[in-house]
Amino acid sequence: MEKSQICENIEKVKGKIESTCKKIGRDSSGVMLVAVSKTKPVSYIQEALNCGQVEFGENRMQELEDKIPEFDGKKISWHMIGNLQTNKIKLIADKVNWVHSIEKLKYLKEFEKRSNGNKINALIQVNISGEKQKGGVEPEDLAQILESATNFENVTVCGLMGMATFTDDPEDVRHEFKLLKNLFDEHQEFNSGSVKLRELSMGMSNDMEVAIEEGATMVRVGSEIFGARNYD
């Protein structure tokens, strides 16, 4: 991937978001593009930043911790989107803006404890694919977490995240996105205190259009912006 191509790719992805929103009568300002920069060098992030991209996602806590200080003082927003470990949450809790991958109440408590005044937008990851290795809480356990998350000061539980089954034809996973949207609607009754469900993080490079059609407010796009990865 040539660095100069990154801006072009971002414009292409934004174009897809716009045309999908237009097709279904949604306002494209209601879909946040998170550029997933995992495994990619800091220079790629800088390039994307230069062309106006502000939201960046990483899936490893150590990598995120290493990259954040490279952009000190810049207008940039960081999203943790991968597996969490309790003992590493302290590495990022005082500087990350969004966490998409909360699977346990324990993680929310640890972010709150280690936030040091940093405001964190947290999303509960829900298992919508039925594949255990993708992680996430089971749909029937969602209510219990939300009920216990209403009293945080620095953490806001502001939505749900889901990862669909990998597939060649994104139509195959439309029902998984529908499931997450339904859970999102059904659990609005749990909004209270620090629980304010308004974001739906779903859709990646290969299925973002279907996800937007089904109500995504955030899409997490990596390879289509930064090129293919050798590993995740």
Q: Hey, how many other C-beta atoms are within 10 angstroms of the C-beta on 46?
A: 15
- Contact segment (CB under 6 A) with ligand PLP among 3-11, 20-28, 146-154, 222-230 equals 222-230
Compute the half-sphere exposure of residue 146: CA atoms within 13 Å on the CB side of its CA. 26
Nearer to ligand PLP by C-beta: 58 or 190?
58
- Answer for the pair 122, 102: CB distance below 8 angstroms, yes or no: yes
Q: What whole-number distance in Å separates Cα of residue 108 and Cα of residue 84? A: 11
Return the residue of 45, 84, 218, 221 that touches ligand PLP, per CB under 6 A: 221
Return the residue of 20, 59, 115, 217 that touches ligand PLP, per CB under 6 A: 59
Calculate the CA dihedral of residues 196, 10, 165, 26 and round it to 10 degrees.
50
Contact code string over 153-192 relative to ligand PLP, x by CB under 6 A: ----------x-----------------------------
Residue among 229, 228, 224 nearest 13 (CA): 224
The count of residues interacting with ligand PLP (CB under 6 A) is 15
Return the residue of 124, 204, 211, 212 that touches ligand PLP, per CB under 6 A: 204
Nearer to ligand PLP by C-beta: 150 or 206?
206
Q: Which residues contact 145 (CB under 8 A, 6 or more apart)?
A: 102, 104, 105, 108, 124, 137
79 binds ligand PLP (CB under 6 A): no
Q: What whole-number distance in Å separates Cα of residue 71 and Cα of residue 54? A: 11
Per CB under 6 A, contacts with ligand PLP among 82-101 are 82
Nearer to ligand PLP by C-beta: 128 or 204?
204
38 binds ligand PLP (CB under 6 A): yes
Nearer to ligand PLP by C-beta: 36 or 61?
36
Q: Tell me the residue type at 17.
A: I
Q: How far is the CB of 90 from ligand PLP (least distance, A)?
A: 21
Q: Hey, how many other C-beta atoms are within 10 angstroms of the C-beta on 221?
A: 23
222 binds ligand PLP (CB under 6 A): yes
137: which 2 tokens?
A: 């809480």
Query: Tokens 């949604």 appear where?
Result: 26
Contacts to ligand PLP by CB under 6 A: 36, 38, 59, 81-82, 163, 204-206, 220-224, 232
